[in-house]
């Protein structure tokens, strides 16, 4: 091991795309010979995966796992919808989601460096490389997020289109309202709200909408213009904010009214406090 330097391990990592631990092992087994180390990795089914790393991954699945205190969201991308539906790929997403909920990683990078629960001899990143080799397509773990459950809150989770869209809604005020939280999560999947309330709309977005509205009502009396602009801005707010949208399951009421109706039924104060809407390929 004395002749194996960190620089050699780094070089092999860059050339193969394989994790540092396996690169170190390969160099030790090959007495520091770089080419033999690469051959060692290829025989293990690791290094050849790097050839597929540059391919676009626009399909995939968003998985989730729920525990008593957390909800883990995980997006894993691949090249084709055919592979996204592959049993081995789906199993990988399910297992990773469960591990994320258990380990609660602080970041995606930290998650990829974790030992894979199913095979602790490999990191998650190393196992991903093996899966690329096995399936024959590029696979990328795009993002992971851990939602910490709040006390006296209910959570609804809705997976749509086979995991291409996944929505979570948090309702504060009761821990027994999972059903209406899921109903609203279904609405979020269908109507794609950008904000929860009008107060969350950025000032520059609101200003731009006002400018557009003013350009559409030129030549009218000032008092009429202001009234029209107020109406147009309200319509814009309702279209992009969850609480103001017409509820998909009952368009005669807004989402906010749906929650208020439930409040009266159970005599408790409820509030939509947060929502998440993940869609394949939309990670930043």
Question: pLDDT tens digits, residue range 192-228?
Answer: 999 999 999 999 999 989 988 888 888 888 888 899 9
Q: Say which range, 37-46, 56-65, 124-133, 161-170, has the weakest mean pLDDT.
A: 37-46
CATH number of 6-52: 1.10.8.10
Contact 244, 187 (CB under 8 A): no
Q: Which regions of the chain does DSSP assign to beta strands (E)?
A: 59-66, 70-78, 115-116, 119-123, 139-148, 153-160, 165-172, 246-247, 250-254, 271-279
Integer Cα distance of 127 and 132 in angstroms: 9
Phi, psi for residue 4 in degrees, rounded to 5: -95, 110
Long-range contact set of residues 102-110: C-beta below 8 Å, sequence gap at least 24:
102/67, 104/70, 104/72, 104/146, 105/144, 105/146, 108/141, 108/142, 108/143, 108/144
Higher pLDDT, residue 1 or 3: 3
> Quick check: 22 pLDDT over 90?
no
Q: Which tens digit of pLDDT belongs to each residue from 138-151?
A: 999 999 999 999 99
Integer Cα distance of 164 and 59 in angstroms: 8
Residue 10: its pLDDT value, please?
84
* Residue that is written with structure tokens 């869609």 in the block: 279
User: Where are the domains positioned within the chain?
Assistant: 6-52, 54-149, 151-201+241-284
- CB count in 10 Å sphere of residue 245: 21
Tokens linked to 59: 């399909």
- CB count in 10 Å sphere of residue 49: 25
* Residue that is written with structure tokens 């509820």 in the block: 247
| Fold match flag (6-52 vs 151-201+241-284) | no
- CB count in 10 Å sphere of residue 56: 11
Mean pLDDT, the chain, rounded, equals 91
User: Per CATH, the architecture of 54-149 is what?
Assistant: 2-Layer Sandwich (3.30)
CATH number of 151-201+241-284: 3.30.479.20
Residue 48: its pLDDT value, please?
56
Say what percent of the chain tops pLDDT 90.
70
CB crowding 200-213: b at 16 or more within 10 Å, else e? ebeeeeeeebeeeb
For residues 109-131, give the mean pLDDT. 93
Model pTM score: 0.81
Integer Cα distance of 23 and 17 in angstroms: 9
Long-range contact set of residues 90-98: C-beta below 8 Å, sequence gap at least 24:
90/61, 92/131, 92/139, 93/61, 93/63, 93/163, 94/63, 94/65, 96/63, 96/124, 96/141, 97/63, 97/64, 97/65, 97/72, 97/73, 98/65, 98/72
Integer Cα distance of 170 and 48 in angstroms: 43
Higher pLDDT, residue 58 or 238: 238
């Amino acid at each position: 091991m004395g002749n194996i330097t960190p620089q050699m391990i780094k070089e092999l990592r860059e050339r193969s795309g394989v994790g540092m631990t396996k690169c170190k092992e390969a160099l030790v087994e090959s007495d520091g010979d770089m080419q033999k180390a690469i051959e060692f990795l290829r025989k293990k089914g690791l290094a050849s995966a790097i050839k597929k790393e540059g391919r676009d991954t626009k399909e995939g699945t968003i998985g989730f796992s729920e525990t008593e205190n957390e909800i883990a969201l995980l997006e894993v991308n691949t090249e084709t919808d055919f592979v996204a539906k592959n049993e081995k790929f789906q199993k990988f997403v399910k297992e990773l989601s469960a591990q994320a909920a258990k380990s609660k990683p602080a970041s995606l990078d930290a998650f990829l460096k974790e030992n894979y629960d199913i095979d602790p001899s490999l990191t998650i990143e190393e196992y991903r490389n093996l899966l690329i080799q096995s399936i024959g397509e590029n696979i990328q773990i795009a993002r992971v997020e851990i939602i910490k459950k709040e006390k006296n809150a209910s959570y609804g989770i809705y997976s749509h289109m086979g995991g291409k869209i996944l929505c979570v809604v948090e309702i504060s005020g009761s821990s027994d309202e999972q059903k209406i939280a899921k109903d609203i999560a279904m609405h979020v999947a269908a109507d794609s709200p950008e904000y929860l309330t009008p107060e969350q709309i950025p000032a520059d977005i609101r200003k731009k909408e006002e400018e557009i509205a003013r350009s559409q009502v030129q030549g009218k009396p000032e008092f009429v213009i202001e009234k029209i602009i107020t109406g147009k801005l309200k319509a814009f707010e309702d279209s992009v904010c969850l609480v103001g949208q017409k509820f998909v399951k009952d368009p005669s009421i807004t989402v906010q009214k749906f929650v208020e109706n439930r409040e009266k039924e159970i005599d408790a104060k409820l509030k939509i406090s947060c929502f998440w809407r993940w869609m394949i390929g939309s990670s930043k």
